[in-house]
Homo-oligomer: A and B are copies of this chain.
Amino acid sequence: MAKNVLIIGAGGVAQVVAHKVAQNAKEFGALHIASRTVSKAEQIITGIREKGHTVEFTAHSLDAMDSKVVASLIRQIDAKIVINVGSAFVNMTVLQGCIDTGAAYLDTAIHEDPAKVCETPPWYGNYEWKRREACEKAGITAILGVGFDPGVVNAYARLAEDEYFDKVDSIDIVDINAGSHGRWFATNFDPEINFREFTGTVYSWQKGAWQENKMFEVGREWDLPVVGKQTAYLSGHDEVHSLSARYKDADVRFWMGFGAHYINVFTVLQNLGLLSEKPVTTAEGLEVVPLKLVKAVLPDPSSLAADYEGKTCIGDLVKGTQDGKPGEVFIYNVADHKDAFNEVGSQGISYTAGVPPVAAAILVARGIWDVKKMANVEDLPARPFLELLGDLGLPTRVIDATGDHPL
Protein backbone atom coordinates (compact mmCIF):
# COMPACT_ATOMS: atom_id res chain seq x y z
CA MET A 1 0.00 0.00 0.00
CA ALA A 2 1.31 3.44 -0.91
CA LYS A 3 2.73 5.28 2.08
CA ASN A 4 1.42 8.68 3.17
CA VAL A 5 4.15 11.31 3.55
CA LEU A 6 4.35 14.15 6.05
CA ILE A 7 6.79 16.98 5.42
CA ILE A 8 7.57 19.08 8.50
CA GLY A 9 8.78 22.62 7.80
CA ALA A 10 7.91 25.30 5.25
CA GLY A 11 11.23 27.00 4.50
CA GLY A 12 13.31 26.89 1.34
CA VAL A 13 14.34 23.24 1.72
CA ALA A 14 10.78 22.16 2.59
CA GLN A 15 9.60 23.83 -0.60
CA VAL A 16 11.99 21.72 -2.68
CA VAL A 17 10.98 18.57 -0.81
CA ALA A 18 7.31 19.33 -1.39
CA HIS A 19 7.80 19.93 -5.12
CA LYS A 20 9.85 16.78 -5.48
CA VAL A 21 7.40 14.51 -3.64
CA ALA A 22 4.63 16.00 -5.81
CA GLN A 23 6.66 15.26 -8.94
CA ASN A 24 7.08 11.69 -7.69
CA ALA A 25 3.60 11.30 -6.24
CA LYS A 26 3.20 7.83 -7.76
CA GLU A 27 5.76 6.56 -5.25
CA PHE A 28 3.66 7.70 -2.27
CA GLY A 29 0.13 7.87 -0.88
CA ALA A 30 -1.39 11.14 0.31
CA LEU A 31 0.94 14.09 0.75
CA HIS A 32 0.94 16.39 3.78
CA ILE A 33 3.00 19.36 4.90
CA ALA A 34 2.97 20.88 8.38
CA SER A 35 4.46 24.11 9.72
CA ARG A 36 4.13 26.32 12.78
CA THR A 37 2.69 28.92 10.39
CA VAL A 38 0.18 27.04 8.24
CA SER A 39 -0.01 29.85 5.66
CA LYS A 40 3.63 29.18 4.69
CA ALA A 41 2.79 25.53 4.02
CA GLU A 42 -0.31 26.58 2.05
CA GLN A 43 1.83 28.93 -0.03
CA ILE A 44 4.13 26.03 -0.95
CA ILE A 45 1.15 23.95 -2.04
CA THR A 46 -0.11 26.88 -4.14
CA GLY A 47 3.32 27.00 -5.84
CA ILE A 48 3.08 23.27 -6.59
CA ARG A 49 -0.40 23.68 -8.08
CA GLU A 50 0.95 26.49 -10.27
CA LYS A 51 3.46 24.00 -11.68
CA GLY A 52 0.49 21.86 -12.82
CA HIS A 53 0.58 19.13 -10.16
CA THR A 54 -2.94 18.09 -9.16
CA VAL A 55 -1.89 15.58 -6.50
CA GLU A 56 -3.64 15.49 -3.07
CA PHE A 57 -1.60 17.75 -0.78
CA THR A 58 -2.80 19.04 2.60
CA ALA A 59 -1.33 21.75 4.85
CA HIS A 60 -1.39 21.53 8.64
CA SER A 61 -0.46 23.78 11.52
CA LEU A 62 1.98 22.03 13.87
CA ASP A 63 4.00 22.73 16.98
CA ALA A 64 6.87 20.35 16.19
CA MET A 65 8.54 21.06 19.55
CA ASP A 66 5.89 18.83 21.19
CA SER A 67 6.33 15.13 20.36
CA LYS A 68 2.76 14.29 21.44
CA VAL A 69 1.39 16.85 19.01
CA VAL A 70 3.63 15.41 16.27
CA ALA A 71 2.48 11.85 17.04
CA SER A 72 -1.14 12.95 17.02
CA LEU A 73 -0.82 14.47 13.54
CA ILE A 74 1.02 11.39 12.24
CA ARG A 75 -1.82 9.18 13.50
CA GLN A 76 -4.52 11.50 12.22
CA ILE A 77 -3.20 11.45 8.64
CA ASP A 78 -1.76 7.91 8.87
CA ALA A 79 1.70 9.12 7.77
CA LYS A 80 4.24 6.33 7.20
CA ILE A 81 7.16 8.53 6.20
CA VAL A 82 8.05 11.81 7.93
CA ILE A 83 10.52 14.11 6.20
CA ASN A 84 11.70 16.55 8.86
CA VAL A 85 13.06 19.68 7.20
CA GLY A 86 11.92 22.07 9.91
CA SER A 87 14.32 23.87 12.23
CA ALA A 88 17.18 21.73 13.57
CA PHE A 89 15.74 22.41 17.01
CA VAL A 90 12.79 20.03 16.48
CA ASN A 91 14.66 16.83 15.48
CA MET A 92 14.32 15.03 18.78
CA THR A 93 10.61 15.75 19.27
CA VAL A 94 9.76 14.77 15.69
CA LEU A 95 11.87 11.62 15.97
CA GLN A 96 10.06 10.71 19.20
CA GLY A 97 6.73 11.26 17.43
CA CYS A 98 7.85 8.76 14.78
CA ILE A 99 9.06 6.21 17.31
CA ASP A 100 5.71 6.47 19.10
CA THR A 101 3.69 5.92 15.92
CA GLY A 102 5.86 3.63 13.78
CA ALA A 103 6.50 6.15 11.00
CA ALA A 104 9.87 6.30 9.21
CA TYR A 105 11.90 9.38 10.07
CA LEU A 106 14.23 11.36 7.75
CA ASP A 107 16.07 14.59 8.46
CA THR A 108 18.82 16.68 6.86
CA ALA A 109 20.69 18.24 9.77
CA ILE A 110 21.83 17.33 13.22
CA HIS A 111 19.72 18.21 16.24
CA GLU A 112 20.58 21.48 17.93
CA ASP A 113 19.68 22.74 21.33
CA PRO A 114 18.75 26.42 20.88
CA ALA A 115 20.70 27.28 24.02
CA LYS A 116 23.97 25.60 22.99
CA VAL A 117 26.34 26.40 20.15
CA CYS A 118 28.91 23.90 18.90
CA GLU A 119 28.74 21.27 21.55
CA THR A 120 31.61 18.85 21.89
CA PRO A 121 31.73 15.97 19.42
CA PRO A 122 30.33 13.60 18.45
CA TRP A 123 27.22 15.69 17.97
CA TYR A 124 25.05 12.74 16.90
CA GLY A 125 26.16 11.04 20.08
CA ASN A 126 24.72 13.93 22.11
CA TYR A 127 21.16 13.43 20.84
CA GLU A 128 20.10 11.20 17.94
CA TRP A 129 22.28 8.15 18.59
CA LYS A 130 20.83 7.92 22.10
CA ARG A 131 17.60 6.81 20.37
CA ARG A 132 19.27 4.01 18.35
CA GLU A 133 18.04 1.24 20.62
CA ALA A 134 14.56 2.71 20.79
CA CYS A 135 14.40 2.75 16.98
CA GLU A 136 15.67 -0.80 16.64
CA LYS A 137 13.26 -2.01 19.32
CA ALA A 138 10.29 -0.29 17.65
CA GLY A 139 11.47 -1.29 14.16
CA ILE A 140 11.61 2.35 13.07
CA THR A 141 13.58 3.40 10.02
CA ALA A 142 15.33 6.65 10.94
CA ILE A 143 17.74 8.05 8.36
CA LEU A 144 19.79 10.88 9.77
CA GLY A 145 21.29 13.75 7.83
CA VAL A 146 20.09 12.86 4.37
CA GLY A 147 20.42 16.27 2.71
CA PHE A 148 23.36 17.01 0.45
CA ASP A 149 25.96 17.72 3.10
CA PRO A 150 25.42 15.82 5.30
CA GLY A 151 23.79 13.15 3.18
CA VAL A 152 24.92 12.78 -0.41
CA VAL A 153 28.55 13.42 0.59
CA ASN A 154 28.26 10.54 3.08
CA ALA A 155 27.07 8.31 0.23
CA TYR A 156 30.02 9.54 -1.88
CA ALA A 157 32.35 8.33 0.90
CA ARG A 158 30.54 5.00 1.04
CA LEU A 159 30.76 4.67 -2.77
CA ALA A 160 34.53 5.20 -2.57
CA GLU A 161 34.72 2.54 0.12
CA ASP A 162 32.56 0.10 -1.87
CA GLU A 163 34.04 0.58 -5.32
CA TYR A 164 37.53 2.08 -5.01
CA PHE A 165 39.45 1.25 -1.86
CA ASP A 166 39.86 -1.54 0.62
CA LYS A 167 41.28 1.05 3.01
CA VAL A 168 40.14 4.68 3.17
CA ASP A 169 42.86 7.09 4.33
CA SER A 170 41.17 10.46 4.07
CA ILE A 171 37.83 12.04 3.21
CA ASP A 172 37.87 15.74 2.35
CA ILE A 173 34.40 17.11 1.72
CA VAL A 174 34.44 20.38 -0.21
CA ASP A 175 31.38 22.61 -0.50
CA ILE A 176 31.64 25.54 -2.92
CA ASN A 177 28.81 27.87 -3.79
CA ALA A 178 30.09 29.89 -6.73
CA GLY A 179 26.68 31.45 -7.25
CA SER A 180 25.68 35.04 -6.61
CA HIS A 181 22.38 36.25 -5.13
CA GLY A 182 23.02 39.90 -5.97
CA ARG A 183 22.29 41.11 -2.41
CA TRP A 184 24.81 43.03 -0.34
CA PHE A 185 24.81 40.17 2.15
CA ALA A 186 22.61 37.17 2.79
CA THR A 187 22.91 33.66 4.14
CA ASN A 188 21.76 30.80 1.92
CA PHE A 189 19.72 29.19 4.64
CA ASP A 190 18.38 30.08 8.08
CA PRO A 191 20.94 32.61 9.42
CA GLU A 192 20.48 31.26 12.92
CA ILE A 193 21.67 27.80 11.83
CA ASN A 194 24.13 29.14 9.26
CA PHE A 195 26.08 31.28 11.70
CA ARG A 196 25.94 28.76 14.51
CA GLU A 197 28.00 26.46 12.30
CA PHE A 198 30.90 28.90 12.42
CA THR A 199 30.81 30.61 15.78
CA GLY A 200 32.28 27.82 17.83
CA THR A 201 35.27 25.54 17.66
CA VAL A 202 35.95 23.85 14.31
CA TYR A 203 36.22 20.09 14.91
CA SER A 204 37.89 17.80 12.39
CA TRP A 205 38.87 14.15 12.74
CA GLN A 206 42.56 13.72 12.00
CA LYS A 207 45.10 11.13 13.10
CA GLY A 208 42.45 9.27 15.06
CA ALA A 209 41.42 12.17 17.25
CA TRP A 210 39.32 15.33 17.30
CA GLN A 211 41.38 18.32 16.22
CA GLU A 212 40.29 21.81 17.22
CA ASN A 213 40.70 24.94 15.15
CA LYS A 214 39.10 28.33 14.90
CA MET A 215 36.87 29.25 12.00
CA PHE A 216 38.81 30.70 9.03
CA GLU A 217 42.06 29.59 10.65
CA VAL A 218 42.84 26.89 8.07
CA GLY A 219 42.16 27.74 4.41
CA ARG A 220 43.09 25.84 1.26
CA GLU A 221 42.71 26.63 -2.41
CA TRP A 222 40.85 23.98 -4.38
CA ASP A 223 40.70 23.65 -8.15
CA LEU A 224 37.34 22.10 -8.89
CA PRO A 225 35.27 21.21 -11.95
CA VAL A 226 33.13 24.05 -13.39
CA VAL A 227 33.61 26.45 -10.45
CA GLY A 228 37.42 26.56 -10.83
CA LYS A 229 39.86 27.77 -8.18
CA GLN A 230 38.14 28.51 -4.87
CA THR A 231 39.33 29.01 -1.32
CA ALA A 232 37.60 26.84 1.25
CA TYR A 233 38.08 26.80 5.00
CA LEU A 234 38.18 23.94 7.47
CA SER A 235 34.75 23.98 9.11
CA GLY A 236 32.78 21.91 11.53
CA HIS A 237 29.95 19.96 9.91
CA ASP A 238 27.53 17.16 10.86
CA GLU A 239 28.98 14.49 8.56
CA VAL A 240 32.45 14.73 10.10
CA HIS A 241 30.90 13.35 13.27
CA SER A 242 29.24 10.31 11.74
CA LEU A 243 31.89 9.53 9.09
CA SER A 244 34.63 9.57 11.72
CA ALA A 245 32.76 6.80 13.54
CA ARG A 246 32.70 4.55 10.46
CA TYR A 247 36.15 5.59 9.14
CA LYS A 248 38.07 5.74 12.42
CA ASP A 249 41.47 5.42 10.75
CA ALA A 250 40.85 8.03 8.07
CA ASP A 251 41.19 11.77 8.33
CA VAL A 252 37.74 13.35 7.89
CA ARG A 253 37.63 17.05 7.10
CA PHE A 254 34.95 19.43 5.85
CA TRP A 255 35.88 22.48 3.76
CA MET A 256 33.47 25.29 3.05
CA GLY A 257 34.09 27.99 0.49
CA PHE A 258 33.80 31.61 1.58
CA GLY A 259 34.51 34.85 -0.19
CA ALA A 260 36.37 37.69 1.51
CA HIS A 261 33.12 39.68 1.81
CA TYR A 262 31.30 36.94 3.70
CA ILE A 263 34.26 36.50 6.03
CA ASN A 264 34.42 40.23 6.69
CA VAL A 265 30.72 40.53 7.55
CA PHE A 266 30.86 37.40 9.69
CA THR A 267 33.96 38.67 11.49
CA VAL A 268 32.40 42.05 12.27
CA LEU A 269 29.19 40.50 13.58
CA GLN A 270 31.06 37.85 15.52
CA ASN A 271 33.56 40.24 17.12
CA LEU A 272 30.83 42.67 18.14
CA GLY A 273 28.92 39.85 19.85
CA LEU A 274 25.99 40.06 17.43
CA LEU A 275 26.07 36.33 16.64
CA SER A 276 25.62 35.35 20.26
CA GLU A 277 22.66 33.20 21.22
CA LYS A 278 22.87 34.53 24.78
CA PRO A 279 20.43 37.36 25.48
CA VAL A 280 21.71 40.87 26.18
CA THR A 281 19.70 43.61 27.84
CA THR A 282 19.28 46.99 26.15
CA ALA A 283 19.38 50.29 28.05
CA GLU A 284 15.57 50.17 27.95
CA GLY A 285 15.58 46.79 29.74
CA LEU A 286 14.57 44.65 26.76
CA GLU A 287 16.13 41.17 26.62
CA VAL A 288 17.25 40.37 23.09
CA VAL A 289 19.16 37.41 21.62
CA PRO A 290 21.52 39.17 19.18
CA LEU A 291 21.52 36.31 16.65
CA LYS A 292 17.72 36.45 16.42
CA LEU A 293 17.84 40.14 15.58
CA VAL A 294 20.53 39.56 12.95
CA LYS A 295 18.27 36.91 11.45
CA ALA A 296 15.41 39.41 11.41
CA VAL A 297 17.36 42.06 9.47
CA LEU A 298 18.90 39.69 6.91
CA PRO A 299 17.06 38.77 3.72
CA ASP A 300 14.82 35.70 3.99
CA PRO A 301 16.94 33.00 2.29
CA SER A 302 13.92 31.88 0.25
CA SER A 303 13.67 35.39 -1.20
CA LEU A 304 17.06 35.01 -2.90
CA ALA A 305 15.97 32.35 -5.37
CA ALA A 306 14.65 34.48 -8.22
CA ASP A 307 17.90 36.41 -8.69
CA TYR A 308 20.35 33.64 -7.88
CA GLU A 309 22.81 32.82 -10.64
CA GLY A 310 25.79 30.51 -10.97
CA LYS A 311 26.62 27.04 -9.82
CA THR A 312 27.51 24.97 -6.77
CA CYS A 313 30.07 22.19 -6.65
CA ILE A 314 30.04 19.82 -3.70
CA GLY A 315 32.12 16.70 -3.56
CA ASP A 316 34.37 14.29 -1.69
CA LEU A 317 38.06 13.87 -2.36
CA VAL A 318 38.68 10.38 -1.02
CA LYS A 319 42.16 8.91 -0.77
CA GLY A 320 42.90 5.30 0.05
CA THR A 321 44.61 2.13 -1.00
CA GLN A 322 43.37 -0.73 -3.16
CA ASP A 323 45.42 -3.92 -3.27
CA GLY A 324 48.19 -1.98 -1.52
CA LYS A 325 48.27 0.75 -4.18
CA PRO A 326 47.45 4.33 -3.15
CA GLY A 327 44.87 6.20 -5.18
CA GLU A 328 42.31 8.98 -5.03
CA VAL A 329 38.87 9.72 -6.37
CA PHE A 330 36.80 12.91 -6.46
CA ILE A 331 33.05 12.26 -6.44
CA TYR A 332 30.89 15.33 -6.95
CA ASN A 333 27.80 17.11 -8.15
CA VAL A 334 27.43 20.45 -9.89
CA ALA A 335 24.06 22.20 -9.50
CA ASP A 336 22.77 25.37 -11.10
CA HIS A 337 20.82 28.02 -9.17
CA LYS A 338 18.71 29.17 -12.12
CA ASP A 339 17.78 25.59 -13.11
CA ALA A 340 16.64 24.96 -9.54
CA PHE A 341 14.52 28.11 -9.54
CA ASN A 342 12.94 27.27 -12.88
CA GLU A 343 12.04 23.79 -11.71
CA VAL A 344 10.83 24.32 -8.12
CA GLY A 345 11.12 28.05 -7.39
CA SER A 346 14.09 27.64 -5.03
CA GLN A 347 17.78 28.48 -5.16
CA GLY A 348 20.46 25.84 -5.62
CA ILE A 349 21.41 25.50 -1.96
CA SER A 350 17.86 24.60 -1.00
CA TYR A 351 17.60 22.37 -4.07
CA THR A 352 20.69 20.31 -3.27
CA ALA A 353 19.49 19.95 0.36
CA GLY A 354 15.87 19.16 -0.53
CA VAL A 355 16.13 16.59 -3.32
CA PRO A 356 18.13 13.93 -1.39
CA PRO A 357 15.57 13.35 1.40
CA VAL A 358 12.96 12.76 -1.30
CA ALA A 359 15.25 10.20 -2.95
CA ALA A 360 15.66 8.59 0.48
CA ALA A 361 11.90 8.63 1.04
CA ILE A 362 11.38 6.88 -2.31
CA LEU A 363 13.98 4.25 -1.32
CA VAL A 364 12.17 3.76 1.98
CA ALA A 365 8.83 3.51 0.19
CA ARG A 366 10.30 0.94 -2.22
CA GLY A 367 11.72 -1.00 0.72
CA ILE A 368 15.36 -0.64 -0.42
CA TRP A 369 16.30 1.65 2.45
CA ASP A 370 13.50 0.64 4.86
CA VAL A 371 16.06 -0.75 7.29
CA LYS A 372 13.89 -0.68 10.46
CA LYS A 373 16.63 0.95 12.51
CA MET A 374 18.50 4.25 12.85
CA ALA A 375 21.17 4.81 10.20
CA ASN A 376 23.41 7.53 8.87
CA VAL A 377 23.67 7.65 5.09
CA GLU A 378 27.10 5.97 4.93
CA ASP A 379 25.55 2.94 6.67
CA LEU A 380 23.27 2.34 3.66
CA PRO A 381 24.04 1.12 0.14
CA ALA A 382 25.17 4.17 -1.84
CA ARG A 383 24.59 3.21 -5.46
CA PRO A 384 20.76 2.98 -5.53
CA PHE A 385 20.61 6.34 -3.75
CA LEU A 386 23.06 8.08 -6.08
CA GLU A 387 21.49 6.62 -9.21
CA LEU A 388 18.02 7.71 -8.11
CA LEU A 389 19.41 11.17 -7.28
CA GLY A 390 20.65 11.42 -10.86
CA ASP A 391 17.10 10.79 -12.08
CA LEU A 392 15.78 13.41 -9.66
CA GLY A 393 18.11 16.18 -10.87
CA LEU A 394 21.36 15.76 -8.90
CA PRO A 395 23.63 13.65 -11.10
CA THR A 396 26.88 12.34 -9.65
CA ARG A 397 30.16 12.64 -11.53
CA VAL A 398 33.48 11.01 -10.71
CA ILE A 399 37.08 12.00 -11.39
CA ASP A 400 39.23 8.87 -11.13
CA ALA A 401 42.16 7.29 -12.97
CA THR A 402 39.98 7.07 -16.10
CA GLY A 403 39.13 10.78 -16.15
CA ASP A 404 36.03 12.89 -15.38
CA HIS A 405 32.84 10.93 -16.11
CA PRO A 406 29.25 10.39 -14.92
CA LEU A 407 28.71 7.77 -12.22
List residues of A whose CB falls within 8 A of some B CB. Answer: 184-185, 264-265, 268-269, 271-274, 276, 280-284, 286, 288-290, 292-298
- Interfacial chain B residues near A288, Cβ < 8 Å: 282, 286, 288, 293, 296
5 contacts between A and B (CB under 8 A): A185-B268, A268-B269, A272-B294, A272-B298, A284-B292
- Interfacial chain B residues near A185, Cβ < 8 Å: 268, 271-272
Q: Are A297 and B283 in contact (CB under 8 A)?
A: no
- Interfacial chain B residues near A274, Cβ < 8 Å: 274, 293-294, 297
A272 and B280 in contact (CB under 8 A), knowing A288-B286, A290-B297? no
Q: Are A293 and B280 in contact (CB under 8 A)?
A: yes
- Interfacial chain B residues near A293, Cβ < 8 Å: 274, 280, 282, 288, 290, 293
Q: Are B272 and A295 in contact (CB under 8 A)?
A: no
Beyond A282-B295, A283-B292: 14 further Cβ-contacts under 8 Å?
A185-B268, A185-B271, A185-B272, A265-B272, A272-B294, A273-B297, A274-B274, A274-B293, A276-B297, A280-B297, A282-B288, A283-B295, A286-B288, A286-B292
How far is A265 from B274 in the complex, measured between Cα atoms in Å? 12
How far is A268 from B185 in the complex, measured between Cα atoms in Å? 9
- Interfacial chain B residues near A290, Cβ < 8 Å: 293, 297
Distance in angstroms from A112 CB to nearest chain B CB is 15
Which partner residue on chain B sits nearest A190 by CB separation?
Answer: B283
Which partner residue on chain B sits nearest A265 by CB separation?
Answer: B268
How far is A298 from B272 in the complex, measured between Cα atoms in Å? 7
Which partner residue on chain B sits nearest A280 by CB separation?
Answer: B296
How far is A293 from B286 in the complex, measured between Cα atoms in Å? 9
A281 and B296 in contact (CB under 8 A), knowing A268-B264, A272-B185, A288-B288? yes
